[in-house]
Structure 1
Amino acid sequence: MCYGIKAAIESKVKVLEVYGDSLLVIHQMKGQWETRDSKLIPYHTHIKELKEHFDKITFHHIPREGNQLVDTLATLPSMFKINTGQDVLVIKIQQKDMQAYCLSIEEEYDGKPWFCDIKSYVKNKEYPLGVSENEKKVLRILPMNFSLNGDMLYKRNHDMVLLRCVDKSQEEEIIQEVHEGSFGTHANGNAMARKILRVGSYWLTMESDCFSHVKKCHKCQIYANKVHVSPTSLNVLT
């Protein structure tokens, strides 16, 4: 906050709105809370001196989850060391609508399964077209836990059991059979994921898909235990 206010002073800004994710500091700057911490008193005094350079300055609080991008940008300078006369690299920032792990494991747009690149590298030692050197390095590490038997790709589990990798078209069928099929007991997401591993199948989003299926199961919602209901009837005590 201090460096941002100094930058505004250097730019000769006279009306400033300051946003911060620290509820304590923001309320202290607004004068609503007292500053009692010996470490914060000099900081608070310095900010009050900087406020004299503005005609109007206001402080606003925003939650930390809404300030993640600003925190990331503030952390970046501490991660780079730039020597004198060295050109600064351009940092590209992109915002995705989905989590990064979802983008890396979902079915490809051309209909290929999630393990297509891994299978191609294990079989032919080939990289996909247009990948970077960093992606090639990751692709060399991933196949260490995978093995190919004929045309079927298997993942080696922590207990050295081989699990068959399945694609999107088989995932829903396996989940329904384990959850409500001939041996299904309408178990929760964790139990379903362990059953699928015992059956010998595997895909990357297995646990999250099992939890999502349980939430959509009508019988699980109707006959599940009501955890928020009191075990005994409530009586009024005078």
Structure 2
Amino acid sequence: MLVDATAGHELLSFMDAYSGYNQILMHPDDQEKTAFMTNLGIFCYKESSLVSETAVSAVLFREEEGKQSPVYYVSKALLNAETRYRQLEKLALALIHAARKLRPYFQCHPITVLTTFPLKKILHKPELSGRLTKWAVELSEYEVTYKPQTSLKSQAERELCCLTKGQSVGIWKLQVDGSSNTKGSGLGLVLTSPQGDVIEQAVRCGFKATNNEAEYEAMIAGLGLAKDMGVKKIVVFSDSQLVVNQMQGSYLVRDNKMTAYLNKTKELQSVFDEFTINQAPRGENSHADALANLGSSIQTTDPKTIPVVYLQWPAVWKDEEEQVNDISNNRTWITPIVEYLEQDILPEDKNEARRVKAQSVRFTIIRGKLYKRSFSSPYLKCINHAEAKYVLAELHEGECGNHSGGRSLAHRALTQGYYWPTMRADSSDYARRCDKCQRFAQISHQPSERLISITSPWPFMKWGMDIVGKLPTAPGQKMYMLTVTDYFSKWIEADSFHQIRDKEVKGFIWKNVICRYGIPK
């Protein structure tokens, strides 16, 4: 509490984060991986070394005049279920734990996350798990942005080191293959951890090698990679019948060069506590074979990172059934959310920017279209108001329309997979304006005004009395009329008199009210 109270002021508490006894020293390579940075110079680095098999942690840094000084350190021991999270889920857990512990810093300053890992895409990807969705909603409270962090090391090497943290326990799977052609020789390595994380490499050989020599080179390179990761139990798969049988002792080795390769492989084999090698059919080893062909085909001497992009639809594909326009044509309620998800562009107004960031957690972009995550149904396609009118017209009075009411119409639009913010109000307004609904609707027998409640619910228990006159003279010189009216049934009792005195009133009430209906309450 003292640190929180004095941060940003001239005085510091007794827990001086600039002193040497509580500084968290980090390797320079780790400092380049993940960081939190504000426009006021506050940094929070979260390295892969701070995400282990049993715990996650984070450090809050402050930079002044080029010097970085730690301010706060938080950590969390993982529960039994949390230890089975994937690596990126653990990184997201470290971020959410830092946001909870350092809530005052996150609330007072805009935070920029510099990371080599795609945390933003992970938190906004369509196939999010329940916990990642919950964390994304929780982080939407703060002004957190994500930017890529450049580094001298290649991304593949950083991910390679990160994946090996705490995953040496269990049986690993290694697939190897070698390729040799007129363009050169290449090796393909696919190493799979017990948790399912895959590390793949395509190696270009700078020397000439036969097919058998390339197969041995791939075997040696793969075992060396597993050795560097601290793997103790491994199962190797190769499609080379010669290499597998020579390793198992079924084939004799007659060539001196093959003998040297076999001895080197046996030397690496002795490092592992459990080692098994099997011959895999070429069809089941296609992943390593593709990497080997890639390595033998590329003419290069420098390491490269070649991203593989999945193209789901052809470039000339066009959905003829879609009658809606692209989300980038006109500025609608969709535009700010799309600009933030694709380009990290936020409105200049801070309140509006906060609102857009909070909303964007529930949306994702699939094939250039914006979709909203629903709770119990598939993704809902987001449409603008012009497209909403077309959808409502088709659902209300189209071929399958039943001229339903506003509430039912909004529910039908939702179950058909569409969403826009004002769908309920628009549906009710459209149903009210429908000409056919007004013409052929059932006649309502309800009163045009609300009924007024009465004060007495019992009949003939409460009466109202009045004297009418002076009227024209009737037979018997009668010129006055005495009336009583029941409040509940509106029943009227009346009689005429020559004059009205207390005697006439008493006789009228006795004869016309008490004797007929009883004593009023």
User: TM-score when scaled to structure 1?
Assistant: 0.47
- Tell which structure's C-alpha radius of gyration is larger: 2
Which is helix-richer, 1 or 2?
Answer: 1
Give the number of the structure with larger relative contact order, counting CA–CA contacts within 8 Å between residues 6 or more apart.
1
Which is strand-richer, 1 or 2?
Answer: 2
